[in-house]
């Protein structure tokens, strides 16, 4: 199937923005008092400085159970194009993730990204085009699952394919006042590490998967929430097939709604131009 150039370009950048937003999550060294948030009480915060032997255990102890989340966000993409879009993020834990990208000021929905345990859907509502990818294809090199993406959205360290991180899943070394966490047992082609402060708080994540895929994120604006430590701002940079991607994602946790079972309104589009998974993957490679 052949796309008109404007449609193909729009979908590429929509997917780029969506994947960036899907990795938006964070923490920083700055500590704020615990507070009550809509939908439940805050999780307990670990006060004792971490050590090499317990930093992952302390991180996991600060993470709390949650069932669903509605979160307003703003995505500022600086490269490969300059655009700022408001968006709405819906997550049902372990089941779905839905991102609705909106036009500035008027709020008209421009695009959707929807992921469940089986597929990821990219919907261009302006040009009525859609593609669906098996979620396994997006995590083929790294082993990342939908649950892992949700953990990262909340600024929480994860081990690929696992529900909760464990001390035994990581090699840990001290580096001045920080800790560097490297997941064990990854594919030899994947280089991956987290930088964590002694609070402990996630500060940075970096991934290299082969020669053509690089990603890093720096996290900030930390606060306590129902799920434990979450953050409202992340600076993202990366490279996919020698094309640079840079973005900042800001989340409004003041208007977040936890555990209220809000509907994301998702339904599979009808009457849209279809793209096969193979064609969708080729679009991703052409960023």
Q: Write down the pLDDT at residue 138.
A: 66
What are the tokens at 26? Answer: 């964070």
From first to last of the 287 residues of the chain, give the pLDDT tens digit.
433 333 344 444 444 555 444 443 323 233 333 444 444 445 444 455 679 999 999 999 999 999 999 999 998 988 877 888 999 999 999 999 999 999 888 889 988 999 998 899 988 888 888 988 888 776 777 778 899 889 888 888 999 888 889 999 999 999 998 999 999 988 777 889 999 998 889 999 998 877 767 888 888 888 999 999 897 888 888 876 677 889 888 999 999 999 999 999 999 889 998 876 555 445 444 43
Query: Is cis: bond before 200, omega within 30 of 0?
Result: yes
Per-residue confidence (pLDDT) for residue 187, from 0 to 100: 78
Looking at residue 285, its pLDDT comes to: 45
Per the DSSP assignment, residues forming a β-bridge with 113 are 99, 122
Which residue in 11, 58, 70, 236 sits closest to 157, CA to CA? 58
Per-residue pLDDT at 36: 44
Q: What is the pLDDT of residue 166?
A: 95
Please give the radius of gyration of the chain, using alpha carbons only, rounded to the nearest integer: 18
* 258: phi then psi, degrees, rounded to nearest 5: -105, 140
What homologous superfamily does CATH list for 5-285?
Answer: Lipoprotein localisation LolA/LolB/LppX (2.50.20.10)
Name residues whose C-beta falls within 8 Å of residue 9's C-beta, 6 or more positions apart in sequence: none
């Amino acid at each position: 199937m052949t796309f008109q150039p404007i449609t193909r370009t729009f979908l590429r950048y929509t997917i780029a923005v969506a994947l960036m937003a899907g990795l938006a999550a964070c923490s920083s060294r700055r500590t704020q008092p615990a507070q009550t948030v809509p939908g439940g009480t805050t999780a307990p915060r670990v006060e004792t400085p971490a050590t090499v032997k317990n930093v992952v255990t302390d991180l996991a102890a600060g993470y709390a159970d949650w069932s669903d989340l509605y979160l307003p966000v703003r995505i500022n993409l600086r490269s490969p194009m300059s655009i700022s879009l408001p968006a709405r993020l819906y997550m049902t834990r372990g089941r779905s993730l839905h991102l609705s990208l909106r036009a500035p000021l008027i709020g008209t929905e421009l695009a959707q990204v929807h992921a469940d345990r089986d597929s990821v859907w990219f919907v261009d509502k302006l040009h009525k085009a859609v593609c669906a990818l098996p979620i396994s294809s997006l995590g083929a090199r790294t082993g990342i699952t939908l649950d892992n993406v949700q953990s990262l959205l909340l600024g929480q360290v994860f081990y690929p394919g696992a529900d909760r991180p464990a001390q035994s899943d990581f090699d840990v070394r001290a580096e001045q006042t920080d800790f560097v966490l490297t997941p064990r047992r990854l594919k030899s082609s994947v280089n991956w590490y987290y930088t964590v402060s002694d609070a402990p708080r996630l500060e940075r994540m970096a991934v290299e998967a082969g020669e053509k895929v690089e990603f890093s994120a720096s996290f900030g604006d930390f606060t306590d929430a129902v799920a434990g430590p979450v953050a409202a701002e992340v600076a993202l940079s990366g490279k996919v097939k020698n094309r640079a991607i840079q973005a900042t994602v800001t989340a409004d946790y003041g208007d977040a709604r936890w555990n209220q079972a809000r509907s994301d309104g998702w339904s599979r589009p009808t009457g849209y131009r279809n793209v096969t998974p193979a064609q969708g993957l080729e679009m991703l490679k052409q960023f």
